[in-house]
């Protein structure tokens, strides 16, 4: 974008005056941030086509429906995408303002839980970068996932009031595009979209993230007994409350009516606005040619019956015509195989809230079961297993599979498990629907924006081709053993570690040794992700250091971050366990500062951007078969961290790409885990009795070794021992301890370590979301016939031309 520095400064100062009525010298950082944001809104706004109507183009549009989006801060993204980051940096510096400080004024939008929402944000970034019309459709939660603080080592949850100023600086409210959504209960709401521009990297594309918020329809038209005004206001509150808060990723939030209301709001509002736009130039029959609707997990699966309802009831199509349009338009990604996370709704609740939608789901189910009968005559059991409605529940994953033309998993292993275990019946019935799309992350945020020092080093070393084509990061391979390059890489890593250490010192007053191994474990806290395995190993390492303070191991700093769902008792205890270990270990002078433990509060996108570039080791240690893909594993690798991981999710693909010498893997395979489950599990006492180190740490959980109430960690003790250790923590303990030992040994061979680090960066191009998007675009959404020349060029290059190099 062509802007002169002087014009920019003038514009900025003008914004300060009009917005705050004051001179620059009298404004706070926050006020300066708002003024800067306003200036940027003008730049993006001038390019912004109305959502779904890119000027002069009839390019097929992708709509990515997701109950969560986790975009993180946007200021820097906009500046980098517009190509004015440096200009802005200098212009502000001349005015005595540090751009970095203004960046820190921006609050993260709290509109997501973790991986699934962040993935959606990465795909929006890639779609815009590659010049495609691809938009997000979600909800504008008034309160995000809670803000996490630690008190005495316990997680405390505070409201994430991210909209406290009443507005989000990047959004535009579009009341003229509001639609009406009706629930079967008689409630009628107005859904108002708030649009956020999604800019492409160095191109003219500006797409839209459309987030819906509820308002009451005109209160005067409501019939209240005796015109009771207070009742009317109460009613208004109730309708507004639909988009009040984000549900935590929490399988215990069993069948909450409000969540179903949210899901319906998202799809009904989204579909109505898409159809309205589509019909301005097209007929309904051409919907699948012009629009692809993708549902991110089952949370937006009501899009299937809702699109059917609109076609049947509002546009008088017959069933078959409506069904053909619906299934050709909608595609679905599965993100989990945890049984407790597979969504089902009680028929009673579903039917009560959405009777017409229920009737349609019922019809879908009957027709589906009839076709199953033709294929599996007499096999009632099989048909019941596949039915969309059974045991008085609506099975959302079955609905999503039946009503869409494509079903994909998010990593090879995950897709295989879907095909051969969890959804094997469906795979047998419609094998062609199933496909894999291994997740990706945007290198523009996770490498270029988060790690500018590494970006510079890479471009200096291999040129800038990798920026447009991340696969070219492989050009770095020839430098993996180059001593001069290795030294430069070490300098970058060291600087990032110092930066993180400074942040931690400023915020908490803790001094970290930035020459120790920075070993990071950041993600939502969950038993299957096994933060507890890491914690138990730390305790074991501590035991060994106490026995022998001169133990020859490199110093380590274990850094954790992540939120536990507020009702997830055991996960919260895991946080407490880590903090208790930190308290004991960090204050023990006898171990010569060889070991430190830190839990960072309120892990979010912005904190991740600080943590990931500073990592030496990336902990990705779920029980094999449980983590669908993981995406932090990709971000860490891209920043030169070495993965310490189990053979699960995308770790397996990381391992095949970098080779066994450049990753440290351990533990049971998914197949072995399954084998144990088929035998009814394993006996953790066998491990307890044969491995005194395991027995020691187990006893330390409950024998008063750790400060605090005696039963503080009895839940863990019980889950590991009496409870059968469902996640194989003890079973994998020795293998994990050995892998940790290997980390230490390899790290001490500096040149070997730096070569590993280089290989990881070099192979991370495969995990750029541009590659994933290209696969979705050509294999699921059929948007390769882009009219956009830039897009077409990019697409061919990524989608076909160099496809072969992506074969893992
Ligand atoms: C469901 C019902 C009620 C309330 C909440 C939910 C709910 C909300 C969010 C269930 C699941 C989620 C989020 C799941 C998620 O983030 N899954 C992760 O998706 C990533 C992107 O594909 C994968 O990399 C991770 O492996 C997967 O865990």
For residue 101, pLDDT over 70 is answered with yes
Give the residue-averaged pLDDT of 550-571: 95
Query: Which ligand 1 atom lies nearest to the CA of residue 119?
Result: 21
Give the residue-averaged pLDDT of 493-506: 98
> In this predicted structure, what is the pLDDT of residue 252?
65
Q: Hey, is 137 helix, strand or coil?
A: strand
- Ligand 1 centroid to residue 336 C-alpha, Å: 7
413-449 residue pLDDT tens: 999 999 999 999 999 999 999 999 999 999 999 999 9
Give the residue-averaged pLDDT of 397-402: 98
Tell me the DSSP string of 617-632: EEEE-PPTTT-S--SH
Q: Helices 733-748 & 531-547, crossing angle to 10 degrees?
A: 70
Local confidence band at 743 (pLDDT 50, 70, 90 cut-offs): very high
74-86 residue pLDDT tens: 999 999 999 999 9
648 lines ligand 1 (CB under 6 A): no
642-646 and 664-666 as β-strands: parallel, antiparallel, unpaired? parallel
- Ligand 1 centroid to residue 206 C-alpha, Å: 28
Q: What percent of the chain has pLDDT over 70?
A: 94
Query: Which ligand 1 atom lies nearest to the CA of residue 627?
Result: 26
Which carries the bigger pLDDT value, residue 458 or residue 252?
458
For residue 236, pLDDT over 80 is answered with no
Lowest mean pLDDT among 67-71, 152-156, 251-255, 512-516: 251-255
For ligand 1, mutation pick of 111, 113, 300, 563 (most atoms within 8 Å of CB): 113
> In this predicted structure, what is the pLDDT of residue 221?
58
For ligand 1, mutation pick of 114, 333, 623 (most atoms within 8 Å of CB): 114
Maximum C-alpha span of the chain: 84
Minimum CA distance residue for ligand 1 atom 7: 249
For ligand 1, mutation pick of 115, 412, 568 (most atoms within 8 Å of CB): 115
Spatial contact of 742 and 670, defined as CB atoms under 8 Å apart: no
> In this predicted structure, what is the pLDDT of residue 223?
58
Give the residue-averaged pLDDT of 750-772: 98
Any idea how long the chain is?
Answer: 808
For residue 790, pLDDT over 70 is answered with no
629 lines ligand 1 (CB under 6 A): yes
Angstrom distance (rounded) from CA 564 to CA 490: 34
* Burial (Cβ within 10 Å: 0-12, 13-18, ≥19) of residue 305: buried
Nearest to 781 by CA among 290, 269, 69, 129: 290
409 lines ligand 1 (CB under 6 A): no
pTM for the full predicted model: 0.95
258 lines ligand 1 (CB under 6 A): no
764 contacts: CB under 8 Å, gap ≥ 6:
443, 447, 470, 473, 634, 637, 638
Local confidence band at 48 (pLDDT 50, 70, 90 cut-offs): confident
Give the residue-averaged pLDDT of 773-791: 76
518-527 residue pLDDT tens: 999 999 999 9
410 lines ligand 1 (CB under 6 A): yes
Local confidence band at 55 (pLDDT 50, 70, 90 cut-offs): very low
Give the residue-averaged pLDDT of 582-605: 96
633 lines ligand 1 (CB under 6 A): no
- Ligand 1 centroid to residue 85 C-alpha, Å: 34
119-159 residue pLDDT tens: 999 999 999 999 999 999 999 999 999 999 999 999 999 99
Supply the residues annotated as catalytic: 335, 523-524, 529, 631, 635
Per the rule left: phi > 0, alpha: psi between -120 and 50, beta: everything else, 649 is: left
For residue 237, pLDDT over 80 is answered with no
649 lines ligand 1 (CB under 6 A): yes
Angstrom distance (rounded) from CA 761 to CA 720: 37
Spatial contact of 20 and 35, defined as CB atoms under 8 Å apart: yes
Local confidence band at 224 (pLDDT 50, 70, 90 cut-offs): low
571 contacts: CB under 8 Å, gap ≥ 6:
525, 526, 527, 564, 565
723 contacts: CB under 8 Å, gap ≥ 6:
none
Local confidence band at 219 (pLDDT 50, 70, 90 cut-offs): low
Nearest to 635 by CA among 768, 532, 806, 466: 768
* Range list of H helices, 659-732: 670-678, 684-690, 692-702, 714-720
Q: What's the gap between Cα 613 and its chain centre?
A: 18
114 lines ligand 1 (CB under 6 A): yes
- Ligand 1 centroid to residue 338 C-alpha, Å: 10
């Amino acid at each position: 974008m062509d802007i002169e520095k002087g014009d920019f400064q003038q514009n900025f100062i003008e914004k300060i005056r009009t917005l705050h009525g004051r001179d620059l010298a009298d404004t706070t950082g926050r006020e300066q941030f708002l003024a800067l944001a306003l200036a940027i809104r003008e730049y993006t706004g001038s390019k912004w086509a109305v959502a779904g109507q890119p000027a002069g183009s009839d390019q097929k549009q992708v709509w990515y429906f997701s109950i969560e989006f986790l975009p993180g801060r946007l200021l820097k993204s906009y500046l980098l995408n517009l190509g004015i980051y440096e200009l802005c940096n200098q212009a502000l510096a001349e005015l005595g303002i540090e751009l970095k400080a203004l960046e820190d004024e921006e609050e993260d939008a709290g509109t997501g839980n973790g991986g699934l929402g962040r993935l959606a944000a990465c795909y929006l970034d890639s779609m815009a970068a590659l010049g495609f019309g691809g938009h997000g459709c979600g909800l504008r939660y008034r309160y995000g996932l809670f803000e996490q603080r630690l008190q005495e080592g316990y997680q405390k949850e505070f409201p994430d009031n991210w909209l406290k100023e009443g507005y989000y600086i990047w959004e535009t409210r579009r009341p003229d595009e509001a639609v009406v959504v009706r629930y079967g209960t008689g409630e009628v709401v107005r859904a108002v979209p708030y649009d956020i521009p999604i800019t492409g990297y160095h191109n003219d594309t500006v797409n839209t993230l459309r987030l819906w918020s509820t308002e009451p329809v005109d209160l005067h038209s409501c019939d209240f007994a005796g015109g009771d005004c207070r009742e009317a206001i109460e009613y208004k509150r109730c309708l507004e409350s639909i988009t009040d808060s984000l549900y935590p990723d929490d399988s215990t939030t069993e069948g909450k009516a409000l969540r179903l209301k949210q899901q319906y709001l998202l799809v009904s509002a989204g579909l109505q606005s898409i159809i309205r736009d589509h019909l301005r130039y097209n007929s309904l029959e051409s919907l699948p040619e012009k629009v692809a609707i993708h549902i991110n997990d089952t949370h937006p699966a009501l899009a299937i019956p809702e699109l059917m309802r609109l076609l049947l009831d509002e546009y008088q199509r017959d069933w078959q015509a409506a069904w053909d349009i619906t299934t050709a338009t909608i595609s679905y990604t599965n993100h989990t195989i945890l049984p407790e996370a597979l969504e089902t709704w009680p028929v009673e609740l579903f039917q009560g809230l959405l009777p017409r939608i229920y009737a349609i789901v019922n019809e879908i189910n009957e027709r589906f079961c009839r076709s199953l009968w033709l294929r599996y005559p007499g096999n009632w059991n099989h048909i019941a297993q596949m039915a969309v409605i059974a045991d008085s529940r609506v099975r959302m994953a079955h609905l999503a599979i039946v009503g869409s033309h494509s079903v994909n998993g998010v990593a090879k292993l995950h897709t295989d498990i879907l095909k051969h275990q969890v959804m094997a019946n469906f795979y047998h019935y419609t094998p062609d629907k199933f496909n894999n799309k291994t997740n990706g992350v945007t290198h523009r945020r996770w490498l270029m924006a988060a790690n500018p020092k590494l970006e510079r080093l890479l471009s200096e070393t291999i040129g800038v081709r990798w920026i447009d084509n991340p696969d070219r990061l492989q050009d770095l391979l020839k430098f993996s053993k180059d001593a001069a390059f290795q030294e430069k890489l070490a300098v970058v890593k060291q600087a990032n570690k110092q930066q993180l250490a400074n942040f931690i010192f400023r915020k908490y007053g803790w001094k970290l040794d930035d020459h120790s191994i920075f070993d990071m474990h950041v993600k939502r806290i969950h038993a299957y992700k096994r933060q507890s395995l890491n914690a138990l190993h730390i305790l074991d390492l501590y035991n060994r250091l106490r026995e022998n303070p001169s133990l020859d191991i490199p110093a380590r700093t274990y850094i954790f971050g992540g939120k536990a769902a507020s009702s997830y008792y055991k996960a919260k205890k895991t946080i407490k366990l880590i903090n208790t270990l930190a308290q004991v270990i960090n204050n023990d002078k006898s171990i010569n500062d060889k070991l430190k433990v830190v839990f960072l509060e309120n892990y979010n996108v912005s904190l991740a951007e600080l943590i990931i570039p500073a990592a030496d080791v990336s902990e990705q240690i779920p029980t094999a078969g449980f983590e669908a893909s993981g995406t932090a594993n990709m971000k860490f690798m891209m920043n030169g961290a070495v993965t310490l991981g189990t053979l699960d999710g995308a770790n397996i693909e990381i391992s095949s790409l970098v080779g066994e010498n450049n990753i440290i893997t351990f533990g049971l395979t998914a197949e072995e885990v399954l084998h144990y489950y088929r035998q009814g599990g394993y006996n953790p006492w066998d491990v307890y009795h044969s491995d005194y180190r395991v027995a020691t740490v187990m006893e330390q959980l409950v024998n008063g070794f750790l400060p605090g109430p005696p039963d503080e960690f009895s839940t863990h003790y019980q889950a590991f021992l009496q409870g059968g250790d469902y996640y194989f923590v003890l079973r994998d303990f020795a293998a994990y301890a050995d892998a940790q030992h290997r980390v230490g040994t390899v790290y001490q061979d500096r040149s070997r370590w730096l070569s590993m680090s280089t290989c990881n960066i070099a192979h991370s191009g495969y995990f750029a979301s541009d590659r994933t998007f290209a696969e979705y675009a050509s294999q699921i959404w059929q948007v390769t016939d882009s009219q956009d020349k830039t897009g077409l060029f990019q697409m061919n290059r990524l989608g076909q031309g160099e496809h072969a190099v992506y074969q893992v």
